[in-house]
Amino acid sequence: MGKIALQLKATLENVTHLRPVGEDFRWYLKMKCGNCGEISDKWQYIRLMDNVALKGGRGSASMVQKCKLCARENSIEILSSTIKSYNAEDNEKFKTIVEFECRGLEPVDFQPQAGFAAEGVESGTVFSDINLQEKAVVLKCCLVFHTQEGWDVPDGENVCWISCVQAGVIGLLAVNSMLMNQQYILNKVF
């Protein structure tokens, strides 16, 4: 059982407090079976509001799934207390926006979509239902390991790039704002 953190790096201009909205927010992920290594070929989503009982009465999780290849039952849980917003002062820095508790099911890729919100820095205007998949910006996802001493972000050759996905540039025309250059990173926490 381990934790994987999803980190975001972005450039925010005239907006702040970028965050997922509501318990029905969909985290689109590609999953890997921790037993056999099978990776899903389709995007799957998990939501905070979903609560599925684990076999044998061992609690519950956001998603419980039986592996198609090895038939092992795996699960993943969104840790609600770890959901954070990305703020203007976080510009150009990786910040953890959510953590997942993984029991055999590990996310290996993330696809941002609709359901985000942000606020204008000066006006405080709330922009809801922001879709980070509009227009084309390349994002990179990477597994980075957590040690007893803290986050270990490897350099150069040690970085294992998993994939690139499409995400968006959002023009928030009401306050002439823009959100751009988002990057996502999945950190494995042991």
**For residue 184, what pLDDT band results from cuts at 50, 70 and 90?**
low
Average pLDDT in the chain: 74
Q: Which residues contact 73 (CB under 8 A, 6 or more apart)?
A: 54, 55, 64, 65, 66, 67, 104
Rounded average pLDDT over 43-51: 95
pLDDT band at 187 (very low <50, low <70, confident <90, very high): low
More confident residue, 139 or 163: 139
Task: State the pLDDT confidence band at 178, using cuts at 50, 70 and 90.
Answer: very low
CA 114/CA 85 separation, integer angstroms: 15
| Range with the poorest average pLDDT among 26-35, 103-112, 154-163 | 154-163
pLDDT tens string 110-159? 888 889 898 888 888 888 888 877 643 333 333 343 444 444 444 432 22
pLDDT of 26 strictly over 60: yes
> What mean pLDDT comes out for the span 7-26?
88
∠ CA 42-70-100, rounded to 5°: 55
- Closest by CA to 117, choosing from 108, 109, 126, is 126
Which pair of structure tokens corresponds to residue 143?
A: 């597994």
Higher pLDDT, 22 or 93: 22
Q: What pTM does this model have?
A: 0.74
